Every structure is written in structure tokens, then in C-alpha cells.
Amino acid sequence: MQLMQAQKLADVIITVKTAGHGLLFLLNILLNKITYMTLGFIGLGNLGTPIAENLLNKGHALQVYNRTASKADALKAKGAIVCSSIKQLATDCDIVFSIVSDDAALQAITSGPDGIATHLKSGGIHISISTVLPATSNELAGIHQQNGSHYIACPVMGRPEAAKARKLNFLTSGSKATIEIIRPLLQDAGAANVWEFGEAPGAANVAKLCSNFLIVTAIESMAEGINLAQRSGLNAGAWMNMLTQTLFTSPIYVNYSNILLKEVFEPGGFALKLGLKDVNLVLQQATETSSKMPFGQQAKLQLEQCMQQGLAEHDWTAVALALK
């Protein structure tokens, strides 16, 4: 038993030394008390709020920041400390989660004199949940490294209801040792699974963009199929019920077909304007890698049409309304 404990201690010491973290991380891991660390959370939108709430419910000390301060009220009532600035939050925290709307927002909160990278504790970790270009993660990982901290790309697959049900999938890339340190936190944040895509900082972002491309094209194809079935006099609900119990049993087809059939596009679990943002990112990455994506171009046109119809804040399944 003592030999096994010694080996475990040696393994952890090697991991911590490799990651470049201090004694605090070592003690927390050895004692399985990662909750002793102070966590920060930036971005309390539809998805960020239930993820932050999951962390609070697991007993973590949590500091939060949101540009619209009133969005933090519910978390404050549950014990979160509301910070008045990103600088204040980063200075006080060992690990900071962020989930913001786009690349520009992520760069704004991370770099610069008042950003996370400048003020995060030495050896601290920035976990970026946002859907952004891989080039953005590569750049920010370098900035963190220059400041003695760590950046992990950690985009998430799952809607707000999946976060509340603790059925999220986190896609990670960056230092393997650092990912092992944050893995228990991701589980506390609502992870059903944590997937690793290598040490290149932007690799997880590529995986997320490719995944979102498959989702948006699945939504469009289901919307078109349902529209065709209905206009042909077929019971579209019965047809989709057959498909989701046979060929297409995944949550994407089960959940999104239900929304499309019910035409419940408000409130938006994932806003259509953000869907268009993600499709634009996919196409930017396609240009960067000389990849042809004709379906991606068509998805962009459909979403842009919906934006012109005033559907920006609707769920991105409202792309079906462009077929009416």
C-alpha cells in the first residue's frame, strides 16, 4: 500500500512539475480538494449561467463577472462573489472559465493591461469555453505563456438544458498535464465526457467548428425534409419518429426534430445570430485551409435570410422559417 501511495505521489509530482504549477495545485490534487482553489467565471449568458451554477452546486468558491451585472444576481444569491472588473476577478482566482460570444470578445477579456493573462496568478489556468477560430486560441495561448499562466481551449457541445442535466461534452486541447488538472472541474461543471484533441492550442476549436457545421446542416436538412413531408400530406411527426428510432437515434436528430416539429423557436437556446457567427468561422477556417464547403456557403445564405427577417434572437432552428 505504501509503495502504491509513493508511486501515486511521484506521478503527481512529475505531472505538476511538467505543467509548471506551484505547491497549491500539488496539495489540492493530492488531497482531492480542488475545491480549495478560487475559481472565476466570465460570461453569464444562456449557457454560461447553468455551467457556473453547476460549479457552485459542487461547493466551489466562485467569483463571477458579466458585462451586464444584473445577470449575476441569481448566482450571487447562491454564494458567488460578483466582481466589478475582469482585472479584479483574474487577480483573485487560480483558474478562470470564460464563455463569450466571439473571437473579439475573447481577445478583449484575455489580452491587454486589464485582461486575464496579465493578472491571473502565476501558474493559473484560463479555460476558454467559447467557440472561436483555432488561430485565436493559438495567439492567446502564447500570450498566457509569456505571462506565466496556461490557456486551455475547451469549447463545449450542449445546449442550456444539457448543462442543467450535466450532459455536456467538453472538447479540450493544450497541455495534457494541465487538462488532467482541470478534468475534475469540467466534471463538476456538468461534463458527461471530456474529449482530448492534442496539445496544439487550437485543435479543440477545429473539432468544435466541424461539429457545429454538422449540426447546422442537420438542422437545415431536417427542416427541409419536414417541410417537404408536410406539403406532401405526410404526417411529419410520424415520419421523424420512425427515423429517430432507427437510422437517426442521436440527440441531435431527436432533440432538434422535436423543436422543428413544434416550431418553438423562442426563447432561443442558441441564438440564430450566433449560429451565423459560427458558420462564418467555419468558412474562415475553410478559406485558411483551402477547403471547399458548398453546404457551408448555403447554410450561411439561409441564416442571413433569417437575420433579414428579424430572427436574430430566435433559436437557430428558426432557419426553418426561411422555407415558409
> How distant, in Å, are the alpha carbons of 47, 195, 225, 229, 303 from that of 176?
26, 11, 43, 48, 37
| Residue 271 grid coordinates | 441564438
Domains, the chain, ranges and CATH? Answer: 2-200 (3.40.50.720), 206-323 (1.10.1040.10)
pLDDT digits (tens, 9 = 90+) for 183-230: 999 999 999 999 999 999 999 999 999 999 999 999 999 999 999 999
Q: Write out the chain's pLDDT in tens, 324 residues.
A: 333 343 344 344 445 444 444 445 544 544 444 546 899 999 999 999 999 999 999 999 999 999 998 999 999 999 999 999 999 999 999 999 999 999 999 999 999 899 999 999 889 999 999 999 999 999 999 999 999 999 999 999 999 999 999 999 999 999 999 999 999 999 999 999 999 999 999 999 999 999 999 999 999 999 999 999 999 999 999 999 999 999 999 999 999 999 999 999 998 888 999 999 999 999 999 999 999 999 999 999 999 999 999 999 999 999 999 998
Contact 309, 319 (CB under 8 A): no
Q: How far is CA 219 from CA 26, 124, 131, 254, in A?
A: 45, 39, 19, 11
3-state helix, strand, coil in the chain (%, to 5): 60, 10, 30
Burial label, 260 (beta-carbon count in 10 A; 0-12, 13-18, 19+): buried
**Rounded to two decimals, what is the model's pTM?**
0.87
At residue 114, the 3 state secondary structure works out as coil
Which of 76, 87, 208, 300 is catalytic? The answer is: 208
Sheet (strand 156-157) strand order: 156-157, 168-172, 191-196
Active site residue 277: no
- The C-alpha cell 473571437 sits at 103
Beta strands in 173-314 (DSSP E): 191-196
Cβ distance 322 to 306 under 8 Å? yes
